[in-house]
Amino acid sequence: MDEKKYLSIQQICTSYQVNQSLLVALEEYELIEIQYTNEEAYLGIDELAKLERLLRLNQDLDINVAGLVVVHELLEERKTLREELNRLQRQMERLSRF
Amino acid sequence: MAAFIDYYQILGISKDADEKAIKKAYRKLARKYHPDLNAGDQEAEKKFKEVNEANEVLSNPENRKKYDKYGKDWEHADEIEKNRRAQQQYQSSSRRSGGGGDADFSDFFESMFGGQSSGGGGDNFGRRSPRFRGQDFRASLSLKLSEVYKTQKQTVMVNGKNLRFTIPAGIKDQQEIKIKGQGGPGVNGGPAGDLYIRFDVVNDTPFHREGDDLYQEVPLDLYTALLGGEITIDTMDGKVRLKVKPETDNGAKVKLTGKGFPKYKKEDTFGNLYLTYQVVLPKNLTEEEKELFRQLAKGAVQNTK
């Protein structure tokens, strides 16, 4: 395992001051993907931004893990819709020029 | 001068709102303006900060009392100046002791509450920057077994810095010692990593080491083996004179208590030294010697009959 691309769960718990059980719950709901080796559990660095967002929503708005799944899915859906909307708007602009 | 901010107005509540009403209003607005739910909307982010600041003040009874006392008289210059002077003192003495650190508060809040954060109101606006431990460093150091018989100090160069540390006597081959805080620096004020030094202990002695015990084969001439006597052997600790019992068998073992290797971090305690005698038969016998052995052999044959 390339250590530069992963952070141990223990390290994350200390750094973000969160309980390991929360991370395990996030994994059970497939919000994050934890990698296990014989001795320790790790999270990919590319998952950190998503984790931070989940932790903020959990802490700032008291959203529980089941709620985070809904929020996460809706945000992803909104992102896709926005991208689609932007694409269509650009298309319309091009068409209106003719 | 920092402009007065009406926190009650921001949360949309009356001045006599109770704790429950404040919490309710805060939750509703925090949900509405949360930056993660309004990605890219700077206006929402600004509002979210305002809502948090208002909650920071009003959900904390102490802060709210202070705000109610001075806040409404904010426009009276004398009061402000007096307050500011007092706050400046308060700020310099308490600013660094606040919990959150990097929460983004208005000048008004800063001058009144000195940049403190979350006094128990239960919110978590303080954007906690993750504090990461620095990287652990690993190094290895080669030592001779004869060197680790005694506790010694060594200096190693780690990242351009000379580091002097003690290697306790009895350290084992491939054993690691941890030097706390001498690894890479932490991120965002996190603690530094540790330095791990692994020891390659190369055996330069005639002994075989197993744990704290030492083993050695000692040659013993036939005559001393048969008739007994005294021999001198070298131990890690110097020379030792040893009595050999008559009729000592080839391969017989002797234990010398406390003549083994020092026990790691147990001062003045040692393992044992185990000797195995290897009887060496005489070579290049003279005719006279051969005759004497023949006579002995005859006796031996008779003895066994």
B80 within some domain: yes
Is residue B31 in some structural domain?
no
CB-CB: which of B124, B130, B133 is closest to A60? B124
Both B182 and B259 in one domain: the answer is: no
The last residue of one of the domains, among B204, B229, B245, is: B204
Looking at B89, B106, B127, the residue that finishes a domain is: B127
Please tell me whether residues B191 and B227 are part of one structural domain. Answer: no
Give the integer Cα–Cα distance in Å for B46 and B58.
Answer: 18
Number of domains in chain B: 3
- On whether the CB atoms of residues B253 and B213 are closer than 8 A, the answer is no
DSSP A39: S
| DSSP summary character for residue A32 | S
User: Are B186 and B266 contained in the same domain?
Assistant: no
Q: Quick one: which H or E segment has residue B242? A: strand B238-244
Residues B237 and B297 reside in one and the same domain: yes
The per-residue pLDDT for B302 is 63
Nearest CA in chain B to A82: B39
| Per-residue tens of pLDDT for chain B, all 305 residues | 567 888 999 999 999 999 999 999 998 999 899 988 888 889 999 999 999 999 988 998 888 888 887 766 544 544 555 655 655 554 443 333 333 344 577 777 777 776 555 443 333 444 455 667 777 888 888 899 999 999 988 887 777 778 888 889 999 999 998 888 888 877 766 778 888 889 999 999 999 999 999 999 999 999 999 999 999 999 998 999 999 999 999 999 999 999 999 999 888 899 999 999 999 999 999 999 999 999 988 887 666 55
Contacts of A59 in chain B (CB under 8 A): 124
End-to-end alpha-carbon separation of chain B, Å? 121
Per-residue pLDDT tens digits of chain A, which is 98 residues long: 666 688 889 888 888 888 889 999 999 999 999 988 877 889 998 898 899 999 999 988 889 999 999 999 999 999 999 999 999 999 999 998 87
Q: What is the CA radius of gyration of chain A?
A: 18
Q: How many CB atoms lie within 10 A of CB B46?
A: 13
Provide the residue range defining the domain that includes B278: 208-304
Confidence (pLDDT) at B91: 44
Residue B177 Cα to chain centre, angstroms: 9
| ipTM for the whole complex | 0.73
Give the pair of three-digit tokens for residue B119.
């006094």
Q: Which of B152, B177, B204 is the last residue of a domain?
A: B204
Yes or no, beta carbons of A56 and B36 under 8 Å apart: yes
- CA separation for the pair B81, B66 (Å, rounded): 15
Looking at the structure, do residues B157 and B230 belong to the same domain, yes or no?
no
Q: Which two tokens stand for residue B209?
A: 């080491």
B193 with B215, same domain: the answer is no
Is residue B190 located within the same domain as residue B120?
A: no
Cα nearest neighbour of A76 on chain B:
B37
Contact A15 B31 (CB under 8 A): no
pLDDT score of B262:
94
Q: What is the DSSP letter of B183?
A: S
Asked if residue B190 is part of any domain, the answer here is yes
Q: Any idea what the CATH number is for the domain that residue B166 is in?
A: 2.60.260.20
Is residue B122 domain-resident? yes
- Measured CA to CA in angstroms, residue B29 lies from B55, B113, B250 at distances of 10, 23, 92
Looking at residue B75, what is its pLDDT? 45
If asked whether residues B156 and B177 sit together in one domain, one would say yes
SS3 of chain A: CCHHHEEEHHHHHHHHCCCHHHHHHHHHCCCCCEEECCCCEEEEHHHHHHHHHHHHHHHHHCCCHHHHHHHHHHHHHHHHHHHHHHHHHHHHHHHHHC
CA distance B170 to chain A (A): 29
Residue B171 lies in a domain: yes
pLDDT at B107: 76
Q: Using CB atoms and an 8 Å cut-off, which of residues 108-137 of chain B contact chain A?
A: 123-125, 127-128, 130-133
Statement to judge: residues B229 and B275 lie in one domain: yes
| Residue B196 shares a structural domain with residue B162 | yes
Q: Which residues of B touch A56 (CB under 8 A)?
A: 34, 36, 127
User: Choosing among B26, B34, B129, B187, which should be mutated to test the A contact, i.e. which has the most A CBs within 10 A?
Assistant: B34
Do B84 and B106 lie in one domain? The reply is yes
The C-alpha atoms of residue A58 and residue A62 are separated, in whole angstroms, by 5
Is B181 inside a domain boundary?
yes
pLDDT of B194 reads 86
Does residue B149 sit in the same domain as residue B121? Answer: no
Is B20 within the bounds of a domain?
no
User: Does residue B10 lie in a domain region?
Assistant: no
Looking only at Cα atoms, what is the longest distance across chain A?
64
Q: Are B167 and B143 in contact (CB under 8 A)?
A: yes
